[in-house]
């Protein structure tokens, strides 16, 4: 006897799976703040566990996300958009802070939903890293962080605007551009956090100290991020994302909606 799982229950299960996986991944990103909370003889293992957790979570989430995501049309769209995103990312490689791929992730996540946006972020980084030869310990972290960027766009609120169409489009573009700014800076913070302890030697005002309390390390990390990326790379990324969304957002949103999968995923 077969068991039929309702679509609503399946969606709830997928949402909980994605949320739980993201919480665990966030803990892996923030491993420097957890070192002091474990016994001294186990502290060395904390970063190793964090680095192993991210790729394991990626595999688990990809395998457990809603089976409805694996339709032929969804796979085709994921493949095409991942290839486009990979090409955009490779073309912009080496230009400090430019992440034009964020434009694609945000627009596709907005149209097709959080699950699609999350998978698109994972696949875009995986394909571009494979083609570009850029695989390293940072790759799984980039995959998760870009997955969050795409998923977050799919979770943005929707509203009914009764005014003319052009004002509805302008409001949506403004929302996505604002989200792009926030996502750009949060992406930079997340990517800084996991490798910060290895990036700076000891003894400076921005150094990581395993024996320090979390508040002291948080202040050091904030200063490190401010001087190394927030004022430079992350700001360029935010500007690039806003300009891209404003310039091509309306046309790309219209094109993606013409190829809509059905209900947002």
pLDDT (tens digit per residue) in 6-43? 455 555 666 777 888 888 888 888 888 877 656 555 56
CA dist 227 and 240 (Å) reads: 20
- What is the CATH classification number for the domain harbouring 100? 1.10.1760.20
DSSP annotation of 5 reads P
- Asked if residue 122 belongs to a domain, the reply is yes
pLDDT in tens, 206-227: 888 877 777 888 889 999 999 8
Q: Which residue has the higher pLDDT, 4 or 182?
A: 182
Where residue 182 falls among pLDDT bands split at 50, 70, 90?
very high
pLDDT at residue 98 is higher than 70? no
Those residues whose C-beta lies under 8 Å from the C-beta of residue 148, and which sit 6 or more positions away, are 22, 118, 121, 187, 190
pLDDT score at 73: 81
- 8 Å CB contact between 74 and 265: yes
- Asked if residue 18 belongs to a domain, the reply is no
- Asked if residue 103 belongs to a domain, the reply is yes
Burial bucket for residue 196 (CB in 10 Å: 0-12, 13-18, 19+): buried
Inter-helix orientation angle 114-132/45-64, to 10°: 120
CA dist 135 and 209 (Å) reads: 28
Long-range CB contacts (within 8 A, 24+) of 43-50? 43/210, 47/197, 50/194
Where residue 232 falls among pLDDT bands split at 50, 70, 90?
confident
pLDDT score at 199: 79
- Asked if residue 52 belongs to a domain, the reply is no
CA dist 99 and 101 (Å) reads: 5
Where residue 197 falls among pLDDT bands split at 50, 70, 90?
confident
Long-range CB contacts (within 8 A, 24+) of 6-9? 7/68
- Asked if residue 24 belongs to a domain, the reply is no
Least confident segment among 43-52, 98-107, 229-238? 43-52
pLDDT in tens, 127-177: 998 887 677 888 899 999 999 999 999 999 887 655 556 678 889 999 999
- Asked if residue 22 belongs to a domain, the reply is no
Tally of domains in the chain: 1
* Residue ranges making up the domain that contains 98: 70-258
Those residues whose C-beta lies under 8 Å from the C-beta of residue 105, and which sit 6 or more positions away, are 85, 117, 120, 121, 124, 146, 149, 150, 153
- Asked if residue 92 belongs to a domain, the reply is yes
- Asked if residue 150 belongs to a domain, the reply is yes
pLDDT at residue 63 is higher than 80? no
- 8 Å CB contact between 88 and 131: no
pTM recorded for the entire structure: 0.85
């Amino acid at each position: 006897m077969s068991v039929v799982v309702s679509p609503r229950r399946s969606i709830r299960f997928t949402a909980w799976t994605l949320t739980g996986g993201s919480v665990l991944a966030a803990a892996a990103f923030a491993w420097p703040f957890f070192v002091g909370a474990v016994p001294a003889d186990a502290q060395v293992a904390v970063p190793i566990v964090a680095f192993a957790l991210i790729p394991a979570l990626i595999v688990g989430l990809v395998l457990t996300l809603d089976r409805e995501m694996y339709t032929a049309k969804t796979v085709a769209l994921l493949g095409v958009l991942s290839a486009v995103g990979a090409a955009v990312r490779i073309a912009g490689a080496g230009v400090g802070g430019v992440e034009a791929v964020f434009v694609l992730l945000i627009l596709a996540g907005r149209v097709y939903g959080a699950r699609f946006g999350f998978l698109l972020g994972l696949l875009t980084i995986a394909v571009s890293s494979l083609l570009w030869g850029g695989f390293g310990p940072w790759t799984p972290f980039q995959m998760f962080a870009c997955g969050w960027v795409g998923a977050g766009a799919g979770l943005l609120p929707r509203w009914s605007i009764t005014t003319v169409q052009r004002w509805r489009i302008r409001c949506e573009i403004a929302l996505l551009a604002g989200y792009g700014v926030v996502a750009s800076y949060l992406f930079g913070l997340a990517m800084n956090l996991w490798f910060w302890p290895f990036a700076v030697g000891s003894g400076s005002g921005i150094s990581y100290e395993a024996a320090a309390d979390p508040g002291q390390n948080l202040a050091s990390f904030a200063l490190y991020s401010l001087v190394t990326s927030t004022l430079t790379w992350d700001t360029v990324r935010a500007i690039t994302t806003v300009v891209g969304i404003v310039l091509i957002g309306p046309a790309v949103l219209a094109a993606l909606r013409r190829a809509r999968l059905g209900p947002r995923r």
